[in-house]
Amino acid sequence: MVLKTSLIYVMLTLGTTMVYGQSSSETTLSNLSLQHALKIMKENNLELRISKFDEQMKAHEAKMAEGHRYGKLDMKLQAIRSNDAGNVFGFKLKSREATFGDFGFSEFDMSGSTNPLPVAPKALNYPDTRDHFQTTLTYMVPVYTGGKLDQYGKITKALQTMSQLDTEKLVNEKVFQTTKTFYDISLVDQYISNLGNIVNNIDRLEEIVVSMKEEGFAKDIDALEVRARKAEAQSMLSQASYNKELAYQYLSFLLNHKVNSIQAEDELAPMPDVVKEEVHQSNLDIQKARLGLDITAMAVKVQESNFLPTVGAFGEYGSADNQLFNEFLDNDFYTVGLQLEWNLFNGYIDKHNLEKAKVENMKVREQVELAKRGTCLKVRKLITEIKSKDADIESLQTQLDFATKVYENYQERYKEGISSISDVLIKQSKELEVLLKLLTSKNDRNAKVFEIKSIINKGDV
């Protein structure tokens, strides 16, 4: 009977992607407890670090949205040189230095003997080149936006919270993977121990066959069968050791720290208490769905604000002269004002955007209910499967005890010449087959327990 296919499945359905690279830390952790491993994972895991950077960016986006309500203050410094007639006259007006002479009055014939009006004043049309330095402070602030800025601020805050929930969900996932890997390694250790006992039994059986062969009660084929079974068992033992090494590499990847050995956990993980109302409150997917519902409600209010006017205020203060900061207060100026803007018609686009936002809100409301019902259904399904696995484990443990006794009995029967060596090895294969099924069931049960803990947000030990 070939059992290597079963071994590959059981090992121990490590259900995670194995990573072959070394961790970033060179210090090796030995005799590591699960509690300590979870603490290291939360501090060092690279995916969690990246997720926390996303949190920080969302926090800055929320601050940016809040900053829009405080307006904008700009300072502008201009340094200009020109002999353009319009520019030069404007510069003088800005500096409050314009005179009647700039209009060319000094060139007019004031005697009355000629008409001065057709005369083109040279001072006005061909002014000297002038420098112009102007410093201006401008402040613009929204006074009323129909609630749009308030809703944008709330939306960015909600998105920041959503990012925090994403990080928390990722923490749960990594806790699940770390805890499961701990229990996987513990079960692999148990499997290696049991397989080692089986190899020892084969060694004793080989000694019995050799002894009986010397006395003429056994054949060469008996010894060959035993050696073949021993080679198969040793191969399975070697494969189990390799899978254990892979599990340690994956654990090192999760912790971003090399792990050499751990403290073994109990074979069966304890079942958490599950209360429906607590699941609705603690499940992260449901929390995210509720938050998404709040965001869509805010989006409806944003669209409603498009039907209201917006009012902005601005103020400007500055000074200008032909020298930088010269006589600043004597040449200063200010401007203040308000602006109201109100869109009265745009082809019913705002109306349809509002209706679309309301439909989105109704859709997300149904998604929240779906998340609640789906989560409860998944939890009930997992609980049922765990109970089924508990029954399987109890049955398989009884079968294993029986298979072990049967093998020992057939070994004695072989000594007495009642059974053949093939019968003995068949019973040993049955013992190993039941052992694999037992460990597989334990591993499957543990994975479902950890999944429930992740769903109810109680993944920590």
pLDDT tens-digit profile of 153-201?
Answer: 999 999 999 999 999 999 999 999 999 999 999 999 989 998 888 888 8
| pLDDT category of residue 111 using cuts at 50, 70 and 90 | low
460 to each of 43, 168, 450, 454, how far by Cα in Å? 14, 12, 10, 9
Mean pLDDT of the chain: 88
Cβ pair 256, 178 in contact under 8 A: no
The ranges assigned to domains in the chain are 4-69+147-288+363-455, 84-128
Q: Please report the pLDDT score of residue 28 as a whole number.
A: 87
| pLDDT category of residue 205 using cuts at 50, 70 and 90 | confident
pLDDT for residue 138 is more than 90: yes
| pLDDT category of residue 10 using cuts at 50, 70 and 90 | very low
**Quick one: tokens of 279?**
């699941």
Q: What does residue 241 show for φ and ψ, rounded to 5 degrees? A: -65, -40
Q: How many CA atoms lie within 13 A of 206 on its CB side?
A: 14
pLDDT for residue 401 is more than 90: yes
pLDDT tens readout for residues 262-297: 998 877 888 988 888 888 999 999 999 999 999 999
Q: How far apart are CA 45 and CA 58, in angstroms?
A: 20
- Architecture of the domain spanning 4-69+147-288+363-455: Up-down Bundle (1.20)
Query: Computed from CA positions of residues 112, 117, 122, 124, in that sequence, does the dihedral angle turn out positive or negative?
Result: positive
User: According to DSSP H, which parts of 11-147 are helical?
Assistant: 34-44, 46-67, 85-94, 122-125
Q: Please report the pLDDT score of residue 11 as a whole number.
A: 45
Q: Please report the pLDDT score of residue 122 as a whole number.
A: 77
pLDDT tens readout for residues 233-245: 899 999 999 999 9
Q: Please report the pLDDT score of residue 223 as a whole number.
A: 85
Q: Please report the pLDDT score of residue 314 as a whole number.
A: 95
Q: To the nearest whole percent, how much of the chain has pLDDT over 90?
A: 62
pLDDT for residue 413 is more than 50: yes
The amino acid sitting at 116 is: P
Cβ pair 305, 148 in contact under 8 A: yes
Nearest to 443 by CA among 389, 383, 378, 387: 389
